Chains A and B, each alone.
Chain A
Amino acid sequence: MRILVAEDDQLILKTLEFRLRKDGHEVIATQDGREALRKIDELLPDLVITDIMMPFASGLEITSAVKEKYPDRMHVIVISGMGQENVVLEAFQLGADDYITKPFSPVELSIRVKRFAIPVKI
């Protein structure tokens, strides 16, 4: 599966990248929300994992853009901080498929990603 990961913390981004590659996925990593939006259009990933708090374009903006342009093609998992329940709710209203709260276990994320490995409608 081709996965785009948008996370501003370099270490977390590298960790996610490492974990997902280990699971056999193709990973596109970015630390910038605007670049994430550009890469989504360019590389058409199957799944987008995005942090809520991102520079230039937030995780909510990314979710909204993905669900508007590719509602049946791409899934979105949002990563939120503790106490951001309202933002997560907003992300779900925008069409997010799942969420994970920081601190999170990379193994748990890996399991959640596997749920979306089933081929989606194109």
Chain B
Amino acid sequence: MLLGIKFTHQLTGHFPAIHYLYIVIIVCLVLMILAIAFIGVYISIKNRKRKKDIKRKNVADNLIQRVLFSDEEQNNTDKPRYKGYKLVRDANFRRILTAEILSARKNISGASAERLKQMYEELHLEKHALLNTDSRYWHIKAKGLQELAIMEMRDYVDIIIPYADHPNELVRIEAQAAIVKLQGYKGLLFLDTVTYPVSDWQQIKLLHELSNFQENQSFVNIESWLQSANYSVIIFAMRIASNNHLFNIHDNIMACMDHEEPRVRLRAIQTLNEIYTEHTTDGLKKRFAFETHHNQIAILKVLQTIGTERDVTFMFDYLDNDNNELRLTLIRTIATISDQKLQALEKFPRIKEAPWAEMMMQIKGEIEKYELANINF
């Protein structure tokens, strides 16, 4: 066809548009054939790799299974491990075997899990996890740290500690979780040096890890954490104090009420609700006037639990303010802690005016409902 086009071109001296179309169609066809061939080769390589991976996974599963029950198969104790030594030289097999060991470790406990850990160490898979922690890619680094934690590689905690203050948040999260998982409260020493914020979610995760450690823990560093330049460390220390009812640091927590960060002060208020003493209400009342509305409401909620009749008078000073939520919380608190209940509010001169009258009605309804529920109970 191309020859024909060339011939026509020679005869006529010009190149008709239809011939350009032919060339475009031919080029497109060639490109399509090439693309199909490429896709075919790609799919075939992918399939071959997938099949090989399935084979590797089966071999890895068999190996793990035999190790899990190696005490019951006396004759096979050494055989699977020997096979493992040779196979882990292949990076692909190593990747699959590691993934399977980690999955099994998450699902299986007891003596079988210990044997799994032994196998992991015997095949020196932790060395590869350590290499991963050195990677320049954060996700590989995080994966390496996670792997060391799951496999409880306590000997490598010192290597993990510097990552607890890594600029990448996800690396930091994994490192902090790994240290606490491996060392419990002792691992919290990273709080001495961490400069990046420890998020609320991360704090909850760490507290969850700590709940697995039942033995008596010492909280020697908690006072210094309460003075940290990193406000999230102060908040976390207060969460620990609250969870463990550390009454001995009540005054340190009260001192946090003078912190410039409102979130620290809010956590201090909530913590004081858990470890209050006879001086707590006075400390809270003293600071009430200087607090944000949000924190004032938090103080009132604490007073609902720990306040007494003698705390009622100070609340009348704030009833005449512009914030309805605060007004309502004040009324609710007075009604909760006063011996006279709602009648105590009659001392307030504007109690019959809107919106105080409506608020009184609402609280009255709440009290009736509460009393009814208690009778039924």
Q: Which residues of A contact B (CB under 8 A)?
A: 9-12, 14-15, 18-19, 22, 102-108
Given the known inter-chain contacts A12-B104, A18-B69, please indicate yes or no for A106 contacting B110, CB distance below 8 A. Answer: yes
What CA separation (Å) do A96 and B108 show in the bound complex?
Answer: 22
What CA separation (Å) do A25 and B178 show in the bound complex?
Answer: 39
B113 within 8 A of A: yes
**CB within 8 Å of A: which B72-124 residues:** 72, 100, 103-113
B64 within 8 A of A: yes
Q: Please, which residues of chain B bring their CB within 8 A of the CB of A18?
A: 65, 69
B68 within 8 A of A: yes
Q: Please, which residues of chain A bring their CB within 8 A of the CB of B100?
A: 11
Given the known inter-chain contacts A107-B110, A108-B110, please indicate yes or no for A15 contacting B65, CB distance below 8 A. Answer: yes
Given the known inter-chain contacts A11-B100, A15-B68, A18-B69, please indicate yes or no for A103 contacting B107, CB distance below 8 A. Answer: yes
CB pair B110–A105 under 8 Å, yes or no, is yes
B311 within 8 A of A: no
* Interface range on chain B (Cβ under 8 Å from partner): 10 to 19
What CA separation (Å) do A34 and B255 show in the bound complex?
Answer: 60
What CA separation (Å) do A102 and B111 show in the bound complex?
Answer: 15
Q: Please, which residues of chain B bring their CB within 8 A of the CB of A14?
A: 61, 65
What CA separation (Å) do A10 and B69 show in the bound complex?
Answer: 16
What CA separation (Å) do A107 and B111 show in the bound complex?
Answer: 9
Give the number of residue pairs across the A-B interface with Cβ within 8 Å: 52
CB pair B61–A11 under 8 Å, yes or no, is yes
In the assembled complex, how far is the CB of residue B50 from the closest CB belonging to chain A, in whole angstroms? 15
In the assembled complex, how far is the CB of residue B181 from the closest CB belonging to chain A, in whole angstroms? 13
Given the known inter-chain contacts A9-B103, A18-B69, A22-B69, please indicate yes or no for A106 contacting B108, CB distance below 8 A. Answer: yes
What CA separation (Å) do A107 and B72 show in the bound complex?
Answer: 12
Q: Which residues of B contact A (CB under 8 A)?
A: 57, 61, 64-65, 68-69, 72, 100, 103-113
* CB-CB nearest 7 A-B residue pairs: A105-B110, A103-B109, A102-B107, A11-B61, A105-B109, A12-B107, A103-B107
Q: Which of A12, A22, A103 contacts B72 (CB 8 A)?
A: A22
CB-nearest residue of chain A to B57: A10
Given the known inter-chain contacts A14-B61, A103-B113, please indicate yes or no for A9 contacting B68, CB distance below 8 A. Answer: no
Q: Which of A11, A22, A105, A107 contacts B64 (CB 8 A)?
A: A11
What CA separation (Å) do A47 and B61 show in the bound complex?
Answer: 25
Q: Which of B57, B64, B68, B105 contacts A106 (CB 8 A)?
A: B68
In the assembled complex, how far is the CB of residue A47 from the closest CB belonging to chain B, in whole angstroms? 20
Q: Please, which residues of chain A bring their CB within 8 A of the CB of B57?
A: 10
In the assembled complex, how far is the CB of residue A21 from the closest CB belonging to chain B, in whole angstroms? 11
Q: Please, which residues of chain B bring their CB within 8 A of the CB of A105?
A: 108-113
In the assembled complex, how far is the CB of residue A14 from the closest CB belonging to chain B, in whole angstroms? 6
CB pair B111–A104 under 8 Å, yes or no, is no
What CA separation (Å) do A106 and B69 show in the bound complex?
Answer: 9
CB-nearest residue of chain B to A79: B107
A–B pairs, 27, beta carbons within 8 Å: A9-B103, A10-B61, A11-B64, A11-B103, A12-B107, A15-B68, A15-B104, A15-B108, A15-B112, A18-B69, A19-B69, A22-B69, A102-B107, A103-B107, A103-B108, A104-B107, A104-B108, A104-B109, A104-B110, A105-B109, A105-B110, A105-B112, A105-B113, A106-B68, A106-B69, A106-B110, A107-B112
What CA separation (Å) do A105 and B113 show in the bound complex?
Answer: 8
What CA separation (Å) do A12 and B110 show in the bound complex?
Answer: 14
What CA separation (Å) do A105 and B103 show in the bound complex?
Answer: 14
What CA separation (Å) do A37 and B95 show in the bound complex?
Answer: 35
What CA separation (Å) do A107 and B108 show in the bound complex?
Answer: 10
What CA separation (Å) do A119 and B69 show in the bound complex?
Answer: 28
**Max count, chain B CB within 10 A of own CB: residue among A9, A11, A102, A107:** A11
What CA separation (Å) do A12 and B108 show in the bound complex?
Answer: 8
Q: Please, which residues of chain B bring their CB within 8 A of the CB of A107?
A: 110-112
CB pair A103–B105 under 8 Å, yes or no, is yes
CB-nearest residue of chain B to A101: B109
CB pair A9–B108 under 8 Å, yes or no, is no
Q: Please, which residues of chain A bring their CB within 8 A of the CB of B112?
A: 15, 105-107
CB-nearest residue of chain B to A107: B110
In the assembled complex, how far is the CB of residue B63 from the closest CB belonging to chain A, in whole angstroms? 10
Q: Please, which residues of chain A bring their CB within 8 A of the CB of B108?
A: 12, 15, 103-106
Q: Please, which residues of chain B bring their CB within 8 A of the CB of A9?
A: 103, 107
What CA separation (Å) do A110 and B65 show in the bound complex?
Answer: 16
